[in-house]
Amino acid sequence: MSGSSMTLEEIARELDVAASTPHEAEQFAERRPMTLAEAYDVQKMLIQRRVDRGAYRIGMKMGFTSRAKMVQMGVHDMIWGRLTHDMRVDEGGELKLSTRVHPRVEPEIAFLLKKPLSGTVSAIEALGAVEAIAPAMEIIDSRYKAFKFSLEDVVADNASSSGIVLGTWHRPDIDFSNLGLIMSRNGKPTQIGTTAAILGHPIRSLVAAARLVAEAGETLPAGSIVMAGGASAAEALVAGDWIELEMQSLGRIGFHVT
Contact footprint for ligand OOG (CB under 6 A): 61, 63-65, 69, 73, 106, 138, 140, 142, 154, 159-160, 229-230
Minimum CB distance to Mg ion, residue 31 (Å) = 26
Across-strand partners of 135? 109
How far apart are the C-alpha atoms of 80 and 55, rounded to whole Å? 19
Question: Toward Mg ion, which CB reaches closer, 61 or 185?
Answer: 61
Which residue in the set 230, 246, 250, 253 belongs to the binding site for Mg ion (CB under 5 A)? 230
Name the nearest CA neighbour of 106 among 151, 53, 147: 147
Residue 142 partner contact from ligand OOG, Mg ion, none using kind-dependent CB cut-offs of 5 to 8 Å: ligand OOG
Residue 241 partner contact from ligand OOG, Mg ion, none using kind-dependent CB cut-offs of 5 to 8 Å: none
Question: Toward Mg ion, which CB reaches closer, 45 or 110?
Answer: 110
Element at 245 (helix H, strand E) = strand 242-247
Residue 14 partner contact from ligand OOG, Mg ion, none using kind-dependent CB cut-offs of 5 to 8 Å: none
Across-strand partners of 236? 104
Q: How many angstroms separate the Cα of 20 from the Cα of each of 25, 141, 143, 164?
A: 12, 12, 10, 17
- Report strand pairing: 79-84 vs 94-95: unpaired
State yes or no: residue 22 binds Mg ion (CB under 5 A). no
Question: Toward ligand OOG, which CB reaches closer, 97 or 125?
Answer: 97
**SS3 letters across 181-225:** EEEEECCEEEEEEEHHHCCCCCHHHHHHHHHHHHHCCCCECCCCE
In the complex, which residue's CB is closest to Mg ion?
A: 138
State yes or no: residue 138 binds Mg ion (CB under 5 A). yes
Question: Toward ligand OOG, which CB reaches closer, 106 or 246?
Answer: 106
Name the nearest CA neighbour of 75 among 229, 200, 208: 229
Minimum CB distance to Mg ion, residue 224 (Å) = 16
Residue 73 partner contact from Mg ion, ligand OOG, none using kind-dependent CB cut-offs of 5 to 8 Å: ligand OOG
Minimum CB distance to ligand OOG, residue 84 (Å) = 15
How far apart are the C-alpha atoms of 142 and 128, rounded to whole Å? 33
Chain residues in the site for Mg ion (CB under 5 A): 138, 230
